[in-house]
Amino acid sequence: MLKPVSRDTLTRQVKETIKRFIVQEDLAPGSRLPSERELSESLSVSRNIVREALSGLVSEGIVIKEVGRGSFVGNVDAELLTASIPVTLGENGASAQALREARVALEAGSIGLIVQRITDAEIENLKQILENYEQKHQEGKSTVKEDIDFHLALLNATQNQVIQDMAPLVMEVFRQTLIEGPSAMRRNPDRIIVEHRRILTALQDRDIVAAREAMHIHFRLQNFPI
């Protein structure tokens, strides 16, 4: 027999959903959040549940509420916020390891489509992302966003709607890996830049063999089985 969903569970789910929204939309501190009514309608929960969730986020410093003005993103570090979001896949509760394996299978398996279908504009976009990555690394800033953007752009270049729809989920897991684990990016960011550049060069040359090898080397660098 199905068990009813408790109020605490609903409130916790709404809290996590709001945190994911802040991360996925890349909202800066001070950004306005949707109103309680909008959140209630979009999440199909009561406004009381939304208020409880927001109050919990206020107590954690993630949200700031101003009387008469609404709710705003607090002065919270985006990477710490991301790390606080549980890595699960809906009710199935897929493990982080399973999702990491899915990411490898998706990217490595898509490289042929990427080589065949990537446009000149998408190659230029990858160049810009890589330049941003290098600049932030030189400035001693986090390159998590740029790393995510690079791999997300690769999957979008398949021009395959199913892969494009799956990409945000596997990239969210990748984001967690970069923040929480002893990732290769932290250990050797210069080498990550070299690997990204090697992938980009292979795509520019439309060389499927070189692109596949560059992708395999890149994943092995991150200790992914491939």
115 and 60 in one domain?
no
Q: List, for residues 209-218, the tens digit of each pLDDT value.
A: 999 999 999 8
State whether 42 and 147 are in the same domain: no
- Rounded to whole angstroms, the Cα distance separating 114 from 20 reads 28
Residue 189: pLDDT band (50, 70, 90) is confident
Residues 13 and 49 placed together within one structural domain of the fold = yes
The yes-or-no verdict on residue 174 having pLDDT over 90 is no
The rounded Cα 16 to chain-centroid distance in angstroms is: 14
> Is the domain of 69 the same as that of 101?
no
Task: State the DSSP H helix or E strand holding residue 63, giving kind and residue range, or none if neither.
Answer: strand 63-66
SS3 32: strand
- Answer whether residue 185 shows pLDDT above 80: no
Residues 213 and 128 in one domain: yes
Residue 176: per-residue pLDDT: 62
Q: In this structure, what CATH number is given to the domain that contains residue 26? A: 1.10.10.10
Q: Is there a single domain that holds both residue 137 and residue 207?
A: yes
84 or 73, higher pLDDT: 73
| pTM, rounded to two decimals | 0.60
Q: Are residues 122 and 57 part of one domain?
A: no
Q: Are 69 and 77 in contact (CB under 8 A)?
A: no
Q: Examine the pLDDT at 136 and tell me if it is beyond 80.
A: yes
pLDDT of residue 2: 36
Same domain, 119 and 72: no
Domain boundary among 59, 83, 107: 83
Domain containing 161 equals 94-221
On whether residue 89 sits in a domain, the answer given is: no
- For 194, list phi and psi in degrees, rounded to 5: -60, -45
Residue 2 lies in a domain: no
Q: Are 178 and 147 in contact (CB under 8 A)?
A: yes
Residue 5 has what pLDDT? 44
Q: What is the CATH number of the domain that holds 198?
A: 1.20.120.530
The pLDDT of residue 165 is: 80
DSSP characters over 147-198: HHHHHHHHHHTT--HHHHHHHHHHHHHHHHHHHHS--HHHH-HHHHHHHHHH
Q: Residue 1 and residue 3: Cα distance in Å, rounded?
A: 6
